[in-house]
Amino acid sequence: MERVFMKGAEAVAEAAVRAGCRFYAGYPITPQNETPEYLARRLPEVGGVFLQGESEVASINMVLGASIAGAKAMTSSSSVGIALMAEGISQALNGCQPIVIANFMRGGPGGGTIQPAQSDYLQGTKAIGNGGCKLIVLAPCNVQEAADLTYEAFRLAERDRNPVLILADGCIASMMEPVILPPMRTDEELEKERLARRNWISNGVRTRGWGSIKLDLWYGRAAMVNAESQGACGKPVVEHTLESANRLWAELYETWENDIRVEEYRTEDAEYILTGYGTGGRVCRAAVDQLREKGYRVGLIRPIVVNPFPANAYKKLDSQKVKFVLCSEMAIPGQMFEDVQASLCDRIPSYYYGRSGGHILEESEVIDAFMSHLD
Amino acid sequence: MEKIYSRTKAVNQVSGGFCPGCFHGVIVKIIGEVTEEMGLIDKAVCVIGVGCCNNIYGYVKGKVDMVNTPHGRAPAVATGLKRMAPQDTLVYTYQGDGDCAAIGLSEIIYAANRGEKITVIFVNNSTYGMTGGQMAPTTLIGQKSTTTPKGRDADDVGYPMHMCELLNTLRAPVFITRVSCDTAPHILKAKEAIRKGFQNQIDGKGFSFIEIMSSCPTNWGLSPVDSVKFMQENTLKEFPIGTLRDN
């Protein structure tokens, strides 16, 4: 196994290449410029294409085009840049294209600050684009997880023919840590996957041999399902309407229950729960250890997949035993806190502590916040 | 009897989609004819903009692959597609004036500036047809639209955008031409321009831009015949036909 020392933004880039990504387009924005800079060097080495788009809007659409051509493709940006991509992400979902998007969040709203923050949880998990579209959202808490989840993102995207969002922050992007990189996927594997997708990519009619398609950014999922069935049995299997497409997406979202991933640490005997995701979750984990040393029975719930949200991790908490849940985020007001509260249904008191504006959470602050809620 | 003319295999025998007197139907036909004559039907991907150009769908459905794109983004989608598809894939965009010259101005200029090996077919009818006749970037000074009810006033909203001339300031494009549909000879020239644009792509040359002047009887509030007359007396004076670059 290869163990290297890398920045998170570079680990995401290298893991993407190893997962089979052969096209990247993006527009410079701090704090994630190391991702495009790395790929500008790396992609040509594997026969891929790197393009610096003239804007985030153009970049996401270039990625869409590359995916339609049959390539695994990704983009990355930060907060305000992801907002600019909203239309394209929604259209990529509508066109059932398995693209990957990485958001290394910075402070907001608006241009905010270039410093790290967790300001886009609600955007990422609830409304990444118009039209009620949802993505699986993966939230790494360190460089290793950033690499692993990027690799996983390409698998999930291909499986679902749906974009996947990596929701990291500026800390993850800029921090250097040792990382064991995932294995390089072979050209044969990638070609096999491309062929499996040939009913829903286009290099012209010759791509599939049974007629033309419109890679439908209208009613896309119904069109895609029908294109697949035409390849297999020669007739459409679902009504080509927006409503039937919406139902198909809803069915897809239901299947994601199986993709829920959450770290539960020292929760067995816990009387208190600290919770957070990404960098916030990592800080909470360190705070759990410190509080345990002080004699408090504290556990951690850290959602790794934040959409779908691991509500059961909170629902199953014993209200006779757990005295409160403290959610810590690099966002003011709390964003994941809304999901935590909804999952707890007022069974257990819940509190929130956060920093924003580029201030990175510190263990001592989380511990102070914890202490302030003790009886 | 020898059959000397028939419908191209690249276009369906359907009616509807375009209004009476609109030249989109003619343009779709000549694109189809060129695609068939060059043996490119099974290698073509039509990247469609948003607006009346979207109605091309019904005509080529089942014949040629298509990609619908967000409004104005066709050149960006075509960029990614052409870069990652086998290089003999024919990728062309089909865009109107709102799509290409307003919301998608950035995408078209940068695709042209990069010299993307694609062909852009830009239909200029001086109006937003599909949304009901609002002012387009190419609406003439004094020409009425639903958002310039007293006619386009340059002091208020500026002058018509000349896409060919704008793109001609860039070094990378290899072919920039403006053709028209107002007469049969002009339609034949438009067809040859499309052929040239496709051939450039087959030859691995760079960016080709074909602006095709059209009319919109419905939103101009004129009969088809009067629309052609209006085109000849007004539109083609503002947008003279001719080839600006052929490298």
Please state, for a pLDDT cut of 70, what percent of chain B lies above it.
100
- Parallel, antiparallel or unpaired: strands A305-307 and A136-138: antiparallel
Task: Name chain A contacts of B107, Cβ cutoff 8 Å.
Answer: 54, 57-58, 61
Those residues whose C-beta lies under 8 Å from the C-beta of residue A41, and which sit 6 or more positions away, are none
Q: Where are the domains of chain A?
A: 3-180, 197-257, 262-372
A88 touches chain B (CB under 8 A): yes
Task: Name chain A contacts of B90, Cβ cutoff 8 Å.
Answer: 204
Q: Per mean pLDDT, which range of A103-107, A287-291, B5-9 is the poorest?
A: B5-9
- CA-nearest of B4, B95, B114 to B51 is B95
Instruction: Round to whole Å and give the CA distance between B216 and B224.
Output: 8
Sequence letter at residue A138: L
Three-state secondary-structure class, residue A350? strand
A245 touches chain B (CB under 8 A): no
A21, A45 Cβ separation under 8 angstroms:
no
Question: Which CA distances in Å does A193 have to A20, A48, A100, A205, A227?
Answer: 10, 16, 16, 19, 17
Token pair belonging to A193: 């996957």
Task: Please determine whether the domains at A3-180 and A262-372 fall in the same fold group of CATH.
Answer: yes
Sorting pLDDT into bands at 50, 70 and 90, what band is A217?
Answer: low
Mean pLDDT of A11-28: 98
Please tell me the distance in Å from A335's CA to the nearest CA on chain B.
Answer: 30
Interface test with A, best of B63, B65, B117, B198 (most A CBs within 10 A): B65
Please tell me the distance in Å from B153's CA to the nearest CA on chain A.
Answer: 31
User: Residue A234: pLDDT above 80?
Assistant: no
> pLDDT tens digit string along A304-356?
999 999 999 999 999 999 999 999 999 999 999 999 999 999 999 999 999 99
Q: Per mean pLDDT, which range of A164-178, A199-213, B91-105, B192-206 is the poorest?
A: A199-213
Task: Name chain A contacts of B61, Cβ cutoff 8 Å.
Answer: 212, 214
pLDDT at A236: 86
Burial of B39 (0-12, 13-18, 19+ CB in 10 A): exposed
Instruction: Round to whole Å and give the CA distance between B113 and A123.
Output: 34
Residue A316 Cα to chain centre, angstroms:
25
Question: Which CA distances in Å does B64 have to A92, B57, B83, B87, B194?
Answer: 21, 9, 19, 17, 16
Sorting pLDDT into bands at 50, 70 and 90, what band is B196?
Answer: very high
A178 — phi, psi (to 5°)?
-70, 145
pLDDT at A218: 76
Instruction: Round to whole Å and give the CA distance between A281 and A275.
Output: 6
- CA-nearest of A115, A120, A116 to A85 is A120
Cα nearest neighbour of B44 on chain A = A204
User: Residue A194: pLDDT above 80?
Assistant: yes
User: Residue B33: pLDDT above 90?
Assistant: yes
Sequence letter at residue A31: P
A67 touches chain B (CB under 8 A): yes
Mean pLDDT of A182-190: 97
Task: Name chain B contacts of A68, Cβ cutoff 8 Å.
Answer: 67, 77, 80-81
Please tell me the distance in Å from A105's CA to the nearest CA on chain B.
Answer: 25
Instruction: Round to whole Å and give the CA distance between A252 and A161.
Output: 10
Q: If you ran DSSP here, which 8-state letter would residue A31 be given?
A: T
Instruction: Round to whole Å and give the CA distance between A270 and A321.
Output: 8
Please tell me the distance in Å from B22's CA to the nearest CA on chain A.
Answer: 24
B167 touches chain A (CB under 8 A): no
Mean pLDDT of B97-103: 97
For the CA atoms of B58, B60, B66, B70, the dihedral, rounded to the nearest 10 degrees, stands at -40
A23 touches chain B (CB under 8 A): yes
Cα nearest neighbour of B71 on chain A = A87
pLDDT at B14: 85
Q: Per mean pLDDT, which range of A130-134, A254-258, A276-280, B56-60 is the poorest?
A: B56-60
Of residues B57, B61, B65, nearest to A204 (C-beta): B65
Q: If you ran DSSP here, which 8-state letter would residue B145 be given?
A: B
Mean pLDDT of B6-25: 89
Of residues A65, A212, A216, nearest to B81 (C-beta): A65
User: Residue A47: pLDDT above 70?
Assistant: yes
Please state, for a pLDDT cut of 70, what percent of chain A lies above it.
99
Q: Which CATH superfamily is domain A3-180 in?
A: Thiamin diphosphate (ThDP)-binding fold, Pyr/PP domains (3.40.50.970)
> pLDDT tens digit string along B138-185?
999 999 999 999 999 999 999 999 999 999 999 999 999 999 999 999
Cα nearest neighbour of A61 on chain B = B77
- The CATH number fitting domain A262-372, selected from 3.40.50.920, 1.10.10.10, 2.30.290.10, 3.10.129.10: 3.40.50.920
Complex confidence, ipTM? 0.97
The 10 Å CB-count burial string (b at 16+, else e) for A32-51 is: bbbbbbbbeebbeeeebbbb
Those residues whose C-beta lies under 8 Å from the C-beta of residue B153, and which sit 6 or more positions away, are B141
Instruction: Round to whole Å and give the CA distance between A231 and A204.
Output: 15
User: Residue B39: pLDDT above 90?
Assistant: yes
Report, at the CATH architecture level, how domain B29-127+155-246 is classified: 3-Layer(aba) Sandwich (3.40)
